[in-house]
């Protein structure tokens, strides 16, 4: 047994020293220390050793195993260092080459426009309020003085979930929900996504964004509405911007108006951008209808207010001179990286 151990030790040490790669070294490990290795096979023959000699023989086997394992680890370290050195020689790093730039994302043009509008109104003392996109028919229509037989429903051609649930066509339901809370006065804007069954073209989409505003307080007049929106237009498009109000009709406001701003490209002289008129339509507005106030348990004899609504995409299109609304949704990196 002693002679066999000595032979295994010398042969293993010789092969370990002769190994020229980590793969060869692993083969040596398996040949001598593996499940079917020479040293393992020798241990299986321990049953033929006299019981009194087994402890001594076992100790000798363990000493040889420890010796071989140490030799294998030392050789492995040498071969790994040699492999790393060879790899470094082949893979020379040119530190003079420019580094790869990380492509960092940024805000979408809609987000930039929305944050600008929110900044303006928050600076005036308004709060930003959000509400559900899937809304009850009552809040989307009836509470806004649009009963079931009203033609405004046909104009909006709404997406219905069922008879009582609808994808909101405007963010006005958020105003109604806020008024119902009874915490007066109110100064708020309600931005969010809305849905209408429109054909997709350069100026329409079945899903777009609105920003609607509401003020409810004592002694609010149309003069307050005009002054607020005139200040908003100057903050958004420049100090020289003028506003013009044209009579209009909305079921939830009375009187109602469409507001135009003077063309910020030509200063109102007339150009291609404003189609020669010198004015650009920007939003709808009006004094909150007394019926809407009553349905929200607000006394129209004591309180009055105004409301307005503007399309977020329209602001982005005008502010950044984009001529096709679809560009905002196509996720073309060539377009978006300009912002």
Closest to 310 measured CA to CA, from 135, 149, 167, 118: 118
pTM of the model: 0.66
Residue with tokens 């009709």: 249
Percentage of residues in the chain with pLDDT exceeding 70? 93
The mean predicted confidence, pLDDT, of the chain is 86
Q: CATH for 109-336?
A: 3.30.930.10
Average pLDDT over residues 167-187: 93
Which pLDDT does position 126 carry in this prediction?
A: 94
Residue 253, H or E segment: strand 253-262
Residues in the chain: 339
Which pLDDT does position 43 carry in this prediction?
A: 67
Which pLDDT does position 203 carry in this prediction?
A: 80
Q: In this structure, are residues 241 and 274 in contact, taking their beta carbons and an 8 Å threshold?
A: no
Q: Which residues of 181-203 are buried (b: 16+ CB within 10 A; e: fewer)?
A: eeeeebbbbbbbebbbeeeeeee
The beta-carbon contacts of 287-291 under 8 Å, at least 24 apart in sequence, are 287/220, 287/221, 287/222, 287/225, 287/253, 287/254, 287/255, 287/256, 288/214, 288/216, 288/252, 288/253, 289/145, 289/251, 289/252, 289/253, 289/254, 290/254, 291/145
Question: Above 80 in pLDDT, residue 165?
Answer: yes
Cα distances (Å, whole numbers) of residue 108 to 20, 123, 138, 252 = 59, 23, 33, 32
Q: Are strands 165-167 and 243-250 parallel, antiparallel or unpaired?
A: unpaired
Question: Above 90 in pLDDT, residue 118?
Answer: yes
pLDDT in tens, 86-98: 887 777 777 787 8
């Amino acid at each position: 047994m002693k002679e066999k151990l000595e032979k295994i030790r010398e042969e293993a040490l010789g092969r370990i020293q002769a190994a020229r790669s980590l793969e060869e070294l692993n083969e040596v490990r398996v040949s001598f220390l593996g499940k079917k290795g020479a040293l393992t096979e020798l241990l299986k023959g321990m049953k033929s050793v006299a019981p009194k000699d087994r402890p001594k023989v076992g100790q000798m086997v363990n000493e040889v195993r420890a010796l071989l394992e140490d030799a294998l680890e030392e050789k492995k370290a040498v071969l790994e260092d040699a492999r790393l050195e060879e790899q470094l020689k082949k893979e020379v790093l040119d530190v003079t080459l420019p580094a790869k730039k990380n492509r960092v994302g940024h805000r979408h043009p809609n987000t930039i426009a929305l944050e600008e509008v929110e900044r303006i109104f928050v600076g005036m003392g308004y709060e930003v309020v959000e509400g559900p996109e899937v809304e009850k028919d009552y809040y989307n229509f009836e509470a806004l003085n649009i009963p079931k037989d009203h033609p405004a429903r046909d104009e909006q051609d709404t997406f219905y979930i069922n008879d009582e649930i609808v994808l909101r066509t405007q963010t006005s339901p958020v105003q109604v929900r806020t008024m119902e809370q009874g915490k007066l006065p109110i100064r708020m804007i309600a931005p969010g996504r809305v849905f209408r069954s429109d054909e997709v073209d350069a100026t329409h989409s079945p899903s777009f964004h609105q920003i609607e505003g509401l003020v409810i307080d004592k002694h609010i007049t149309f003069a307050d509405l005009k002054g607020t929106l005139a200040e908003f237009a100057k903050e958004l498009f420049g100090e020289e911007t003028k506003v013009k109000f044209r009579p209009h009709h909305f079921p939830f406001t009375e009187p109602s108006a469409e507001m135009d701003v003077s063309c910020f490209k030509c200063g109102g002289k007339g150009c291609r951008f404003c189609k020669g008129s010198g004015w650009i339509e920007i939003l709808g507005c009006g004094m909150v209808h007394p019926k809407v106030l009553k349905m929200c348990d607000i006394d129209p004899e004591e309180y009055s207010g105004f409301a307005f609504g503007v399309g977020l995409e329209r602001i982005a299109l005008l502010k950044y001179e984009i001529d096709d609304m679809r560009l905002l949704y196509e996720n073309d990196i060539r377009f978006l990286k300009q912002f």
